[in-house]
Amino acid sequence: MSITKESELQGMQQVSEAVAYTQREMQRYAQPGMTTQELDEFGAQLLSSFGAKSAPYLTYGFPGWTCISVNHEFCHGIPSRKRILKEGDLTNIDVSAELGGFWSDNGSSFVLGADRYGHQGLVDASKEILRKTIDNIRAGVKIADIGQLMESEAKKRGYKVIKNLGGHGIGRALHEQPDELLNFKNRFDQRRFKKNSVVAIETFIATQSSYADTLSDGWTMVGDRGGFMAQHEHTLVVTSGKPLILTSGKPLILTEGNGVWN
């Protein structure tokens, strides 16, 4: 969507506050020994307290309220009473919701407890790349150039990007134009970011794979060559200067927030 009036910005801030708060509190609540279904149900309660509804459930009939992916699961992991979180797990929580006709999306990978398996470097790289990416987005900047920046930053750190996943427009639905905001340069993509447009920018930084495949459950995605992936995502409004980051916890401040940065 494109923000055309103050009430639309307020609506986006309200739903973004709900998803940012839920994201942060789910990370705090997660503990070794807990099932991902318990964690998901906690997130559902938080969204409900805002009057917000799960976006993947509303849009796709996803079998959970949030997406929770663990270790080799890259994204779209289904919460389960059989999946028990363990110390050192590479964990991704992706929260998206609808409130008052507005939609927002916020994702974050983190290491649960002590970094027993050396995942923190991947997580930090993904955060750093998202920060640098967002800091370079302006109205008029080519979408493909931002993709090139993401891939080059990943390569500098010894990582790959997932080429069949990307960010997307958002606002009046979970996925809108511009779609396929990819983590690499598509030389055929001549589109540019437009002032006042709302987009969800996300990293997909991986250790071994360049593509993600869907498992037989129809949802969970893993790497085509295995390995691990970290994802971080913010919903923002494009401006002629630095973007307005709606899901940072404090919408207009880049350096503070809900744990995606910190």
Binding residues for a divalent metal cation: 94, 105, 168, 202, 233
Residue list for the binding site for substrate: 76, 175
Please state, in angstroms and rounded to a whole number, the distance separating the CA atoms of residues 202 and 199: 10
Q: Which residue is listed with tokens 């998206």? A: 96
Taking the C-alpha atoms of residue 22 and residue 42, their distance in angstroms, rounded to an integer, is 9
196, 204, 200: which is closest to 239 by C-alpha?
A: 196
Residue ranges for the binding site?
76, 94, 105, 168, 175, 202, 233
Who's near 176: CB < 8 A, 6+ residues apart?
A: 1, 168, 169, 170
Residue 262, judged by CB atoms within 10 A of its CB (0-12, 13-18, 19+), counts as exposed
Q: What percent of the chain is helix, strand and coil (3-state, nearest 5)?
A: 30, 25, 45
CB 10 within 8 A of CB 246: no
Q: Where are the alpha helices (DSSP H) in the chain?
A: 6-29, 36-50, 55-60, 120-135, 143-156
Q: In a 3-state reduction of DSSP, which class is residue 162?
A: coil
Q: Which amino acid is at 65?
A: W
Residue matched to tokens 């309200």: 14
Closest of 115, 108, 74 to residue 226, by C-alpha:
74
Residue 178, preceding peptide bond in cis (omega within 30° of 0)? yes
